[in-house]
Amino acid sequence: MSLNCAEIDLILSELNLQGCFIQKIRQPDFESLIFELYRPGDKRFSVGFYLGHGKTAVLPIMGKPPADGKPQRFVQFLKSRIDGGRIEESRQIDFNRIIWLKIVRGGTVSNLYVRLWSGAANILAVDEKGIILDAFYRRPNKKEIGGEPLILPPASTDSGKFVPRSFDGDGTFGEQAAAFYGRKTTPTPDVERLRSELKTPVEARLEQLRRLAEKLLPETQFDALHCSEKQAADLLLSLPPQPAGAASVTVETPDGHKTEITLDPRLTSVENSREYYKRYKKKKAAAAAAALRLNEIQTEAAALKTELSFFETAADEEILQHGALKKTHLNATEKKLAAGFPTFISGDRQILVGRSGKENDELLRFHVKGNDWWLHTRDVPGGYVFIKNGKKETVPQEVLLDAAQLAKWFSKAKNHAAADLYCTQVKYLRRAKNGPIGTVLPFHEKNIFVKEDRERLKRLLGKNLL
C-alpha cells in the first residue's frame, strides 16, 4: 500500500528538507530515486522517493544507501542541473500526494514535482516558467515530456478522510514506515525493469507518431474550390485557344479582378490548362493520402495508449506473464523470418524479400523500420525487397545493385531483359486504402532502371538460380 496524503505530510515535517544541500543523486533501480543530503550544522542523511506500483512513498533511508544501478537519462540530467543545489522549499501540493521541491543552484531555480500516485507515479523537473525539462518516466500521451507545460490537479477535497497509520517499531513515523516498507513491499527489480522495458518502445513510438501527425496535418488541408492550380486551369479553358509561345497570360477572374498565369511557352493554352489540372489532381491525391496516413497514425496511437496504460497499472504477475508471451512471440517471429522469407547478405547489409501480399505485409509490420529501403518493380507485379539500413544514411551502390537484381528476379519481370523499379525508404510508404493486403503507395520515390546481371544473380542465389 502507498503512503496517503496525511502520512506524506508527517514524513516531510520530520525530514525538514528546507535548507538542505543535495550532495549526491542515486538511482538504484527503475522505480526509485535517492538524494543524499546535508543540513548545515547537522549530520548527513538520505531520502528515497519510491514510484513502484502500489508502493509509492517518500522515506528516510535507514543505514547505507543502496548502490547506483546503470546510469539512467533522468539521473544524469538531475546531476547536471541540481547536484550541489540547496532545497529552499519543500511541501505537499494541496494534499494531492505531490511533493514540491524548490532547488536553487548558482542562481538557477529548478522545481521538482514528485507525484506519489500508485499506477501513475512520476518525478518531473520543471523550470521557473512551469515548463517540463525532463521526467523520470517520459509519457508523451500524458504530455509528461520536455517542452510541455506542467498541469497540476485541483486541490484534493478528501484530505480529511486520511490519518497516519500505526507501524510497529521505534523511532519517528518515517523510520517506522521505512522499516515496514523494507520488510513488506521491497520492489522487485526484475519486474520493474521488465515493466520499463515494455513501456519504453511504446512511449518512443507514441512520440514518433505525435511528430508524424504534426507534420502530416498541414498536408491534409486541401481546398479544391480555392486551389490555385485548378483556378488557373479553369481560367485558361475559359479563353479562346492560344498557340504556344507565350510565357504568361493575363486573365480576368469571375469577380472582376485580373490575374497573371504563368505558362510553359512550349505548350498551347489548352495544353497548359491540362498541366495545371495534373498538378491540381496531384495535390488532391497527396492530401487524400496524407489524411489516410493521419487516420492510421491516430488509430495506432490509440491502441498504443491502451497498451501503455496496461503496462503502467498492471500487477507484477500480469507484467511477468506479458513479458513471457512477448519473448515467445519474438522468438517465433525470428524463426519464421529465418525460415519463411528469402534473406540475403550484401556487404554489411541484410536484404529481405517478400514473395506474396501476406509476406510483404508481415515484413512491413514487424521486420523493417523507417530508414530501411524498399524496392519494387514499376507497373509489374512482384515481391517487396527491403534493405536493412539501421541508422545509416546511405546504401552502398553494390548493395543497391544486388537488391535491384533481386527485385527484378522476384517479379513478373523475371524473364525480361530489363525492368524499371521504384525505390524509396520505408517511412515514405503509405498503405493503400481498401487495397489488397500489403499494398502500399510510395512517396519521394526514385526510379531505377536495371538490366539483368546473370553473374550477380548467380552470386546471390547460387543453385537456386538453376
pTM for this model (two decimals) = 0.45
Amino acid 216: pLDDT = 84
Cα radius of gyration (the chain): 31
- Alpha carbons 275 and 269: distance in angstroms, whole number: 10
Q: Is residue 431 part of a domain?
A: yes
Q: Give the residue numbers spanning the domain of 228.
A: 218-315
Claim to verify: residue 237 and residue 158 sit in the same structural domain: no
Claim to verify: residue 389 and residue 263 sit in the same structural domain: no
Convert the pLDDT of each residue in 111-128 to its tens digit: 999 999 988 899 999 999
**CATH number of the domain residue 50 falls in:** 2.30.310.10
**Overall number of domains in the chain:** 3
**How many Cα atoms are found within 13 Å in the side-chain-facing hemisphere of 2?**
21
Amino acid 142: pLDDT = 86
Q: Which is more confident, 463 or 80?
A: 80
Amino acid 340: pLDDT = 62
- Alpha carbons 192 and 316: distance in angstroms, whole number: 8
Q: Is residue 379 part of a domain?
A: yes
- What average pLDDT score do residues 356-379 get? 88
Q: Is the pLDDT of residue 362 over 50?
A: yes
- What average pLDDT score do residues 321-331 get? 58
Amino acid 71: pLDDT = 67
Q: Is the pLDDT of residue 333 over 50?
A: no
Q: Is residue 193 part of a domain?
A: no
- Residue 59: which H helix or E strand, with range? strand 57-60
Q: Is the pLDDT of residue 443 over 50?
A: yes
Claim to verify: residue 62 and residue 152 sit in the same structural domain: yes
- What average pLDDT score do residues 118-143 get? 91
Q: Is residue 329 part of a domain?
A: no
- Alpha carbons 42 and 342: distance in angstroms, whole number: 69
